[in-house]
Each structure stands twice: as C-alpha cells, then as structure tokens.
Structure 1
Amino acid sequence: MVQIDPEVSVITPAWNAEKTIEEVISSVRAQTFANWEMVIVDDGSSDGTREKLVAATLADERIHPVFLSENSGAAAARNKALYLARGRFVAFLDSDDRWKPDKLAKQLAFMKKHQYAFTFTGYEYMDASGRPLNKIIHAPQRVTYHDLLKNTIVGCLTVMIDRNQTGRFQMPDLRSRQDLATWLKLLKQGFTAYGLDENLSAYRVGSRNALSGNKWKAAKKTWFVFRRVEGLPLPEACWYFCHYAANAAIKRFS
C-alpha cells in the first residue's frame, strides 16, 4: 500500500501540558481540512502529558507523538518535529493554544491562490481557562524583515510556511524567541510574510501579573535576538527596539 504524505504538518512542542493538550489536539482534529499530520514532541514532561498523547494517537492515526528523554526547550522540540514532518506546508501550534475549525482550509487556500511561501493570520487572546478576552490581533497585509524588527506582529500559532519554496529549515537553539529569530532569518533571505486578516486562532495568556512578567522577559529576549542573533549595531538595535516596545504597548493596551 502506497503511503500518501500529508499536505500540512502541524508542529507542536509540549512540556507538562496535561491540562491543555487535549483541547489543542481537538482543535486540530476539528479542522475542515483533513489532510494533515500533527507531530507533537513531548519535551521531557513529568506530568500526565505522555499518557494523553498515547491515547490521542490511538484515537487518530494522524497524530504522531515523539518523546524526548529530557527537557531540551521549545527550539529543540520544534526542530525534532520539523525534521520528522512530511508535509509540504508546516504550521505551528503550541500546546496551550487552539485553532478555529477553518484555520487550515482558509490559510492554505490563501497561500495557494497567491503562491505565497510564508503567511500568518489574525488571532485572539483567551485567558488561562480558555475564555475569550475580546481582544483581536489583526494581521497586516505584509511584513518584511525591517517591519518585523519594528513590530513583532507575527504570532507563531498562526504561521504557515511552504517548504517547497523556502526549503527545509530549523530554528536557532534559543530557549526563547526562537520563532522570531526564525521568521527574521526567512525574511532576511528575501521572503515576505503575507497576512490573512482573519481571526483564526486563540492565544492563551495567564494572569495580569504573569503577562507583565512575560512581556518583560520577551523584551529582554528580543533585545538578545537583535544584538546577538541578528548582529545589529547598537544604535540600529536601539532604534528598532524603541519601535518594538512602542508597538508592543499599543498591541497590549489598545
């Protein structure tokens, strides 16, 4: 029997995600587009994540769990999934977020119609319990390398990439912001990220205090990417970082 490769590979790192992983998987299984595989890399979880993944693959053969013996970080988990992924298109979904049912269908049609290599969409915030916070992040029409340095508007949970155009890629070995560094790398190679301004995903945030702390950590890691990964000179890094900080504030409080 000839095995047909899935058209889309969903890349999901998971670490101690027993409270949310079933909801995440359900949002993928509910997609109106059915020709996908979901490669979930368990990054050395110590809770019940492994058992839930085993049960999920028994329920749906399109779900492929991989188990790492020790915690190595989201970059290593995503890279393992990217290495194993068989789809032409790769889409990213973390273990505490979720997609709307028509996310893959609409985004894939958008990419094929325009022959785009790199796309992203709008998304909304939800609280730790999964309730909508009535806040939508809209996707601009296009984002270039310099645009992304000024405004990190591309949500990882919304990204889809055509590897027939970009070639296979891996994320840099960073504990945080490896997704931003990856998008910058692709854009620096000459690709443009095109936005589909529809709310097709939900991003989970924690408490107000946790969110503030995460924003501060994200800012420090963004500065690290600017200076150490992208190698921006200090004046240029400061210029872009000021734009990044202003846009982050607007996104949070608008």
Structure 2
Amino acid sequence: MPEVSIITPCYNSSPFLEETIQSVMNQTFTDWEWLITDDQSTDNSVKIIQKVSDARIVLTISKKNGGAGHARNISLQKAKGRYITFLDADDFWEPRFLEEMVSFMKKEKAEIAYSNYARCDENLVPKIEDFKADTEVTFNNLLKTCRLSLLSSMYDSKRVGKEFFPEGSKREDHVMWLNLLKKIPKGKPLPKTMAKYRMHPTSISRKKQNIVKDQYLVYKDFMKFSTLKSLYYTANWAMNGFLKYSKIFN
C-alpha cells in the first residue's frame, strides 16, 4: 500500500502535461501512487499519460465531463495512501516536495500541512513573489480567503478521513478545505517553496468577477450561513482576492 496518493484531474492539458509528469517522476520520495482522472479531454492528453510506463500511475477516463471536482472525487475513491495530496495537470513540484512534506507531517504530527509556492507564468517563470504559507490556517481565517493551495498541501487521511469535493461548484477546493478544517484546530506550515503554480490570465480562478455568486454559495449553501453573514465573507474574499492577484495583470 503506497504511503502517498497523488490526485490529478486532467482536461485538455497537453501543452503542460509532460512537465507536470516529469516533476512527479523526479520526486526523491518514491512510495506513491498517482491517480489521474481524465475528464473527457478532446486533445492528446490521454496519449501523453499512456506513454509513461510506470505501475504507480493509474489512469481513469471519466464517463462524462463533470469538472475538476468530479474528476478528483473519482481518484479519491480509489486512493489507498495515508497522505493525500493534489497536483493539477499544469502545475509543477520541486523534486523534494513529497519527501519534505511527508517528513514534516510526521515530525509535526500534522493533520494538514502546506508549503510556499512560486507564482509563475505559463512558462514557469516567476511573475511576483512566492505565495508564503500562513503561520496559521484555521477554519475561521480560511473563511475570508482561501489560503490553502491544492498543489502545495497534504493531509493525513488516517486521522481526518477522506474529504470529497462538492461537484458543480467552481469553488470546490475552498469548500473541501473548510470541511477538513472543521475537524481540526489548524493546519501547519512548511515555510519552503516546494511547488510552481501556473497563473493563466484567462483561467476561471482569475476571473473573480464571474464567480462572486459561486463564492457566496460557499457560505450560504455549504456552510449554511445567514444571508448577511454570507455577504460579509463574500466581500472579504473579493477584497483579498483583488489584493492577491491585481499586481500581475495591471
């Protein structure tokens, strides 16, 4: 049974997929399984994955195009590792990411851990300063902004259980982290830059004005907050998101 399960959704990721695959294959920690679910790609993503001959890689083709949350859930259902981590098909890990994260989780007895990550353009060239891991991430401070990134985080499924993503929401990662942090006092930071995040100017996560309603529903529908409380946290999220990314595209 592998110690780490890597969860990856894939959809039309061929321009970046080979670099992502190489970053996993270069990991100094080798006791992992990589569960990739292709979400009905129309490019050659599946062929790129199938060219890699490694028994630790398990490719599943989704029966429908259900979005990233749906694809991650398919992989999560099959995951056997104690430590769960996520890597989107266009992101990149430094070679010691898994080794350092697993070691840190064990040393600190952490249920959730997270590291710094570099914020890069599509060619993995840094755009602005690295995103620094907060000294403390709790349920309460995560309500105002999602300070946890999937590609630089890991959780212990033996201690907190598997947490699945709500399907149909563009903010599924925020809901998932909030649900996990309901179970524990706080996550613990590893203050090293261990990953590279590609910041696409046209990506959904950058078009925040288009998903304000989806963020509001994080609080109203999933956290079951009142309308006023939901509006309060949505306003905080919008302001924090503007401050976080405005330097890049101005």
TM range (shorter): over 0.9
Is 2:215 the partner of 1:222? yes
SS at match of 1:150: coil
Q: Tell me the equivalent position of 1:166.
A: 160
Superposed displacement of residue 213, structure 1:
5.2
Aligned position for 1:14: 10
Correspondences of 1:91-102 after superposition (within 5 Å):
91-102=85-96
Report matched runs for 1:107-186 at 5 Å: 107-186=101-180
Aligned to 1:47: 43
Is the Cα–Cα contact under 8 Å of residues 16 and 46 in structure 1 kept in the other structure?
A: yes
> 1:97, 1:219 → 2: CA distance?
25
User: What displacement does 1:22 show?
Assistant: 1.2
Work out whether 1:103 is the aligned partner of 2:120. Answer: no
Count of residues in Structure 1 that have an aligned counterpart in Structure 2: 247
Mark the runs of 5 or more structure 2 residues left unpaired by the alignment. Answer: none
* DSSP 3-state at the match of 1:220: helix
Q: CA deviation at 1:140?
A: 0.8
Between 103-112 and 127-136, report the one with greater CA deviation.
127-136
Residues 71, 211 of structure 1: CA spacing in aligned structure 2 closer, same or farther, 3 A cutoff?
closer
Q: CA deviation at 1:70?
A: 2.3
Distance 1:25 1:79 in 2: 20
Q: Distance in 2 between matches of 1:198 and 1:243?
A: 27
Structure 1 window deviating more from structure 2 (216-225 vs 146-155): it is 216-225
Q: Given residue 214 of structure 1, which amino acid in structure 2 is its aligned partner?
A: K
- List per-residue Cα deviations over 1:101-130 (Å, max 9, x = no partner): 111111111110111111111111111233
**TM-score, normalised to structure 1's length?**
0.91
TM-score of the two chains, using structure 2 as the length reference: 0.92
Distance 2:5 2:227 in 1: 38
Distance change in 2, residues 1:193/1:174 (3 Å): farther
Equivalent residue letter for 2:92: R
- What SS does the aligned partner of 2:24 have? helix
CA 1:213 to 1:104, structure 2 compared with 1: closer, same or farther past 3 Å? closer
Partners of 1:35 and 1:107 lie apart in 2 by 13
What is the SS of the residue equivalent to 1:176?
Answer: coil
Q: Does 1:241 align with 2:234?
A: yes
Secondary structure at the aligned position of 1:225 is classed as helix
- What amino acid is aligned across from residue 69 of structure 1 in structure 2? K
Shift of 1:253: 4.1
CA shift for structure 1 position 238:
2.4
Q: For 2:64 and 2:7, how far apart are their aligned partners in 1?
A: 19
Corresponding position: 1:251 with 2:247? no
Q: Quick one: which amino acid aligns to residue 173 of structure 1?
A: E
The separation in 1 between residues aligned to 2:5 and 2:205, in whole angstroms, is 33
Alignment root-mean-square deviation, CA: 1.8
Identical-pair percentage: 32
Say which is worse superposed, 141-150 or 168-177, in terms of deviation.
Answer: 168-177
Q: Distance in 1 between matches of 2:23 and 2:219?
A: 34
Structure 2 equivalent of residue 79 of structure 1: 73
